[in-house]
Amino acid sequence: MIFYKTEEEIELIRQSCLLVCKALAHVASLIRPGVSGLYLDKEAEALIRDHHASPGFKGYRGFPATLCISPNEAVVHGIPSKKEFRDGDIVSVDCGVQWNGYFGDSAYTFALGHVGEEVMSLLRVTNTSLYLGIDQAIAGNRLGDIGFAIQEYVERRHHYGVVRELVGHGVGRNLHEEPEVPNYGKRGRGVKLQERMVIAIEPMVNMGRKEVIHAEDGWTVISKDHKVAAHYEHTISVGRERADILSDHASIEVEVKRNPELQSVEAFDPAL
Ligand code: MG
Ligand code: MG
């Protein structure tokens, strides 16, 4: 069942989402070639625990870490490792927290050093598609309108692959609640959106084909054709005229711009 939130609950989810983005902004200030995912994970966990909050993913179905760190061909659910990032890597970092009984969830893909224009375009298109999905998250629309907007832009306009096996989700007292929020779909289909429905919208986009496989570690999802993949995620509350974005990528982007070893990923004007 779908839990519609009260205003008070939405504020608690917002606080959790802002803490997630504080952790991701800290990651943005530290990530660079030569740094490992394990180091970033320790830093993020310490920041979250300093706020007397808990990492939302650690222990979730046995996941061992605070961050999902998914470089290059890894789409999502990568386990932080000792392996150092290299110049030209793209690295998706997903973070969740549980604070005062409510979860927050957000993700961002970083471009380290000399990332080619082809891959930068994948990142910009994926980031832009997230906002096109959010634009549809208004009361009276349906879930299919969100998925359609993302898929239309990513697949038909830009010929990348939208991952089907993994989807967005409701967020609240649980990390994953109903409804599922696919990044593909048909206009006017699916559950009707209502005010105070809180959902994570999270397009996962492959440079090549849409198919994914599981890596041997049992967690990491990678593209089947081993081409790179991107992932951006906001938690939002459905509104009457526009969605309320509870997570905050602007604070992450400030740190991206400050970090000389990162390229910034500006969303495109989707009209272009
Ligand atoms: Mg997430
Ligand atoms: Mg999520």
CATH of the domain at 182: 3.90.230.10
Is 1 part of any domain? Answer: no
Selection from 217, 213, 173, 186 nearest residue 2 by Cα = 173
Is 2 part of any domain? Answer: no
pLDDT, one tens digit per residue, over 43-69 is: 999 999 999 999 999 999 999 999 999
Q: Please count the structural domains in the chain.
A: 1
Q: Per residue, what are the HEC states of 166-222?
A: CCEEECCCCCCEEEEECCCCCCCCCCECCCCCEEEECCEEECCCCCEEECCCCCCEE
pTM of the model as a whole: 0.97
pLDDT, averaged across the chain = 97
Residue 1, C-beta contacts closer than 8 angstroms, at least 6 positions apart: 178
- Domain that includes residue 200, residue range: 7-263
Q: What are phi and psi of 250, to 5 degrees?
A: -60, -40
Is 271 part of any domain? Answer: no
pLDDT, one tens digit per residue, over 75-111 is: 999 999 999 999 999 999 999 999 999 999 999 999 9
Neighbours of ion ligand 2 (CB under 5 A): 105, 200
Is 21 part of any domain? Answer: yes
Is 220 part of any domain? Answer: yes
Ligand 2 centroid distance, CA of 205 (Å): 14
β-bridge pairing 102-112 and 161-162: unpaired
With residue 135 as reference, give the H or E element that holds it: helix 117-135
Ligand 2 centroid distance, CA of 108 (Å): 11
